[in-house]
Structure 1
Amino acid sequence: MGWMQDETGLDKCAANFVALTPLSHLARARHVFADRTAVIYGDHRVSYAQYYDRCTRLASALAGMGIGPGDVVATLIPNTPAQAEAHFGVPACGGVLNTINTRLDVNTVAYIFDHGCAKALLVDTQFIDLAEAACAAMKGTAPQIIEVPDPVAGFPATGRYPAYEDVLAGADAAFPWQMPQDEWESLALNYTSGTTGRPKGVVYHHRGAYLMTMGTVISWRMVLHPVYMQIVPLFHCNGWNHTWMMPLIGGTLVCCRDVTATAIYDAIADEKVTHFGGAPIVLNMLVNAPEDQRRSFDHVVEVFTAGAPPAPATLGKIEKLGFNVTQVYGLTETYGHVTECLWRGQDWDTLDAPARAAIKARQGVAMPMMDHITVTDSTLEQVPMDGSVQGEIMIRGNAVMKGYLKNPEATREAFAGGYFHSGDLAVQHADGYIQIADRAKDIIISGGENISSVEVEGVLMGHPDVNLAAVVAKPDDKWGEVPCAFVELKPGAKGDEAALIAFTRETLAGFKTPKRIIFQELPKTSTGKIQKFELRKHAAEVD
């Protein structure tokens, strides 16, 4: 199909077919944007020519350590220049990049080292103790270590391992990049959170990451030379692939090691940050920051937010501060975001603030690099697009993982029926826009009625005293389960359980209102997601 009757001599060759890879963006940028600022981290400022040189030297150094095609190089690094450079330097020597969550426990890190067969490790000095303990707990051969000190942040070199800058200085600046011959070659290895068992290794290919960068530029309406602040941890879906994307459009990457309201406002005011991505907790931080942590700025900052759906109340407030928020959605298995709440201009511009915020809380439609994303029932039939019937979000497209490393059974299950099964429950509106109802495991079933924790959380977040809210199922003798809310209050606010329950009753049906409200700081992952599995344990123990 699609072939002409005679295509003699019309073959793929070096001139007309090159494997897609995000490495090509930096290879091009070193010439096209040679003198433009590529990376900023405090006083560290490098041009694209220098950025390419540093990544090349890293590739050379790794090759000198015996890293070759298909070998895994792990990192335990926050959002600093070395972590960004690893995204190019590791695959440039043929290696596969495995960025590891710096907040994981020793045994989980050891498991990841073993499972991924890491041959080398770049580790920030802050996490040297974690790395050493994990190496000691491994069953296999420990990776070779390169230490990445950060004296400015208070983490000078220990002297126990080769230091990153010394390694780069001694490497070959003329090292030839090992570009993939097949775009299906593995680029990165990421691990799922593992909240229900051992984390699974998610394998990315070069094609998917390349198309993610192209699709994101379109969806985010980007033009040349944005200033992007890396708030999303680079160990989380490789920072949604945004570090690979910046050289495509000559953008400047502003590294953010410690995510605080002060750091974000300062970067926006001083570095003129135009874009950043972050979980809803980051939006909440900005909305609730005291005046002495804020800075004024005179441009609109474009924000991608993903994770738990942000409360409409938060979206309504942050817009007034100069941020234009677009809700996106995705998973580790999809390289990060694959849907967007694409704004329908004149159709929605005239809506009042609450209606606009409610629409912005939707996860939206498929981004350009995807083939089809929809909501189906258990038989893979399309659910009615009426905004009320729930089903599972199903995903198909180029930005879907190759599969789970060394786990063919889980891979087959995830891809059953020709779609990736997200495990997220959602409704679909008449215009095709998807809106998450809940993770399948987070639905509360009370007396046979399904209760969306997201819906209850959205109402709680509308209260002026509430900073964050999470709702989980609490076992109940009569109803099986009832909603139990955990609430983090704003500074100075005092918790009144009865009053807050009464507040929810003004909006929600009685069976949906929380039966208990517990005031405490909410446990969070390094990416700002609330750890509901911890709250479920607590709820089960509460009278």
Structure 2
Amino acid sequence: MHATIPDLLRHAASTYGRREFLRFPDTSITFGEADARSDRLAGALIDRGVRPGDRVAVMLDNVPGWPLTWLGILKAGAITVPVNMRYRAADLEHVLRDSGAVATVTATDLEHVPGTVYDVDSLSSDTTVPNRTHDVTNDVANFQYTSGTTGFPKACMLTHDYWLTTARLIAGQARLRDDDVMLIAQAYSYMDPQWATLMCLMGGIPLVVLPRFSASGFWASAREHGATLTYVLGTMPLLMHKQPPHPRDRDNRMRLVLCSGIRPDLHRTFEERWGAPWRELYGSTETGPDLGVPIEAVETVGTGAMGPAYPGKEVTLDEESGEILVRGVPMMKGYWNHPEATAHAFRGGWYHTGDLGVRDAAGYIRHAGRLKDMVRRGGENISCAEVESVLTQHPAVLQAALVPIPDELFGELPKAFIQLRPGHAPEPSTAMSVIEHARRRLARFKIPAYVEFVEGFSLTPSARIEKRHLLNQDRDQRTAPAIPVERERS
């Protein structure tokens, strides 16, 4: 067992050396090269004053600099703060301020990043500093921000052991083989490419990193690279399914597709179309992998079952609410700067996921909705409180409430109910003004798709907006008086 991520990298470099580790569209990096280049990055960061325990943000596209910088930051003894490339002023400022990041590693073409900024290419090419690293003296590897609970995004403090255990458990579910090739298309700032990177370090296999997800090009990429394993989630499967059938759909080496939230009614169709088993993986940023369906469990196909708990995990249902509760390892250390939220999340000794579940006749848990004040748009969690805060900064807005409405493609879309200040007209031009205000401050996926003006809100005894009264099930929430304000569905 390796104590830290740098330990794992050094072991992989000495064991697999010249084998291919990272494959990007225009470059390939061996295990040995990744070790040497991340050493150089660590030395460059240390030379610029980064010290053990410092937080360093990474805001990059899916380029080699992302995983190499991550590994370099950890070798410098510091903590990585992954930043979504789609963040804009409000959400970016929140993450950098809340984390206390001493610097952001990014690209030269990003000009809106505040604070100390290091260009990734300059760091990588700096040969004036020695290749040196620090011993990892703190156990936290990442401040991984999540909108999985109410309020603004919080940083989950994820330890080296959390990441190593997560990678090891998923490698076990996948029955990792020496001839495997892992393919990933999600942004590196998300969890999935990060645990996939460590899983490939453990197995000595290549990780193919696509620049972005393309529904029309995904399976062509899988064929091109000989991928045998992948992980998809959110709207990705449905978008692929909506592509016209292709004669070469089953012409691939894929032996397992891991997925979160497989639609039961399409599960068997997915398997038959692309010729590979699809298996559920349930978990969260806070808890890592919790439930997983084994490859051989063909009886679960189409049932929505999320499988047994991973070794080291216990998963149960709250007797009164039906909420899914989790304990064991891996598990976050807590929310940075939020001891009250941490205590609330772990009340009674269990992590409260905010997800509802039901247990089927075979004893497996199926997902049955959520308790959290959030919108799940495809693979993205949107904190309602964060968006509401931005909306209410517009001079015309008195109060705002964001709620999820059902959507066939994305699962849910955000809809904003807005109470205007006196003197402002409830008309489309006002709605567009509010949305343009939000677009300048938030990532595009967080922007409301619909706006509806209301004269006032029903409040709870604690003076909070009572959202359950907003969604009248007797009418389509997209029709008038709702105003569609989304430019494009993405």
TM-score (norm 1): 0.67
The one-letter code of the counterpart of 2:310 is: M
**Which residue does the alignment assign to 1:373?**
315
Which residue of the other structure, out of 301, 306, 311, is the alignment partner of 1:357? 301
Q: Give the drift of 1:144.
A: 3.1
**Which residue does the alignment assign to 2:15?**
32
**Which residue does the alignment assign to 1:417?**
348
Which residue of the other structure, out of 318, 324, 336, is the alignment partner of 2:270? 318
Over alpha carbons, which structure has the higher Rg? 1
Q: Give the drift of 1:249.
A: 0.6
**Which residue does the alignment assign to 2:389?**
none
Per-residue CA shift, 1:64-118, capped at 9, x if unaligned? 1111111011011122211111231111110101101122231111111111111
Q: Give the drift of 1:23.
A: 2.4
Q: Give the drift of 1:416.
A: 0.8
Cα contact 2:108–2:119 (8 A) shared by 1: no
What aligned pairs does 1:171-186 form with structure 2 within 5 A after superposition?
Answer: 171-172=129-130, 174-175=131-132, 177-181=133-137, 185-186=139-140
CA-atom RMSD in angstroms: 3.4
What aligned pairs does 1:96-495 form with structure 2 within 5 A after superposition?
Answer: 96-125=79-108, 128-131=110-113, 135=114, 142-147=115-120, 163-167=122-126, 169-172=127-130, 174-175=131-132, 177-181=133-137, 185-193=139-147, 196-237=150-191, 239=193, 241-290=195-244, 297-306=251-260, 309-320=261-272, 321-335=274-288, 337-343=289-295, 345=297, 348=298, 357-359=301-303, 361-368=304-311, 370-378=312-320, 391-441=322-372, 485-488=406-409
Counterpart CA distance in 1 for 2:87 and 2:59 is: 10
More contact order relative to length (CA 8 Å, sep ≥ 6): 2
Number of matched pairs: 404
1:90 paired with 2:61, answer no
Cα contact 1:25–1:245 (8 A) shared by 2: no
Q: Give the drift of 1:213.
A: 1.6
SS state at 2:119 partner: strand
SS state at 2:332 partner: coil
Task: Report percent identity of matched pairs.
Answer: 23
Unmatched tracts of structure 1, length 5 or more: 1-17, 136-141, 149-162, 350-355, 379-389, 444-452, 458-482, 490-522
The one-letter code of the counterpart of 1:145 is: Y
Counterpart CA distance in 2 for 1:275 and 1:298 is: 11
Cα contact 1:394–1:419 (8 A) shared by 2: yes
Residues 534 and 284 (structure 1 numbering): CA distance in 2 closer, same or farther, change over 3 Å? farther
The one-letter code of the counterpart of 1:367 is: Y
Stretch deviating more after TM superposition (419-428 or 81-90)? 81-90
Counterpart CA distance in 1 for 2:250 and 2:346 is: 48
Q: Give the drift of 1:250.
A: 0.3
Counterpart CA distance in 1 for 2:444 and 2:249 is: 24
Q: Give the drift of 1:52.
A: 0.9
Per-residue CA shift, 1:178-234, capped at 9, x if unaligned? 34356xx11100111278432111101111111112111111111224211122322
What aligned pairs does 1:52-67 form with structure 2 within 5 A after superposition?
Answer: 52-67=35-50
Cα contact 2:150–2:372 (8 A) shared by 1: no
Counterpart CA distance in 2 for 1:532 and 1:240 is: 30
The one-letter code of the counterpart of 1:38 is: F
Unmatched tracts of structure 2, length 5 or more: 378-403, 411-438, 453-469, 482-490
**Which residue does the alignment assign to 1:384?**
none
What aligned pairs does 1:510-529 form with structure 2 within 5 A after superposition?
Answer: none
1:79 paired with 2:32, answer no
Q: Give the drift of 1:33.
A: 0.5
The one-letter code of the counterpart of 1:326 is: R
Cα contact 1:202–1:332 (8 A) shared by 2: yes
Q: Give the drift of 1:398.
A: 1.8
Cα contact 2:2–2:8 (8 A) shared by 1: no
Cα contact 1:279–1:305 (8 A) shared by 2: yes
Residues 341 and 231 (structure 1 numbering): CA distance in 2 closer, same or farther, change over 3 Å? same
Per-residue CA shift, 1:296-330, capped at 9, x if unaligned? 62423411112xx2322332221011232111111
SS state at 1:372 partner: strand
Counterpart CA distance in 1 for 2:295 and 2:205 is: 24
Cα contact 1:283–1:314 (8 A) shared by 2: no
**Which residue does the alignment assign to 2:380?**
none
Counterpart CA distance in 2 for 1:400 and 1:412 is: 14
The structure where helix makes up a greater share of residues is 1
TM-score (norm 2): 0.74
